[in-house]
Amino acid sequence: MKLTISLDLLEEAFYYVSPTKPVSAVPLVYLTLAVEKAQIAYTTDNEAKLARKIERSFKAAFHEILQANQVYRSELDQDKLLTPQDHLKKQGQVVDSIVAAIKKYPELSLIRVELAGSWPLYQTQEGHLDLTE
């Protein structure tokens, strides 16, 4: 079975999104895991989620991902101007840190990573989001 989890790095939260992935205006990362029936639990709404023991491992990996990308998360949150090369490099580092963190937990079988939502690639001063307006 496959289970997809959405990581919101700016809000430091994750959500189960299987089977449909919502469209988002914020930068998200979708992780798809291959899971066995014993690794799945269900909510009261009959939606799949990781079983408690497996979810603890995932939360530990998620914490590592947040720590590894703290600088870039801060830059995204502050809408800092970066070159396209810097954004692409840092987004590559986000993916690499996710893969590395998940691989530390053999009970988590990562099969796909997707960047979704509004990841900046090119921005000028005129495109800067002024949150004081």
Which of 131, 67, 55, 124 shows the shortest CA–CA distance to 94? 67
Cα separation, 65 vs 94, in Å, equals 8
52-92 pLDDT, tens digit per residue, is: 999 999 999 999 999 999 999 999 998 888 999 999 999 99
The distance from CA 38 to its chain's CA centroid, rounded to whole angstroms, is 24
Please give the pLDDT value at position 25: 81
**Residue partners of 20: CB distance under 8 A and separation at least 6:** none
Angle 63-15-48 (CA atoms, 0-180°, nearest 5)?
Answer: 115
Query: Considering the entire predicted model, what is its pTM?
Result: 0.88
Residue 53's Cβ-count burial label (10 Å; 0-12, 13-18, 19+) is: exposed
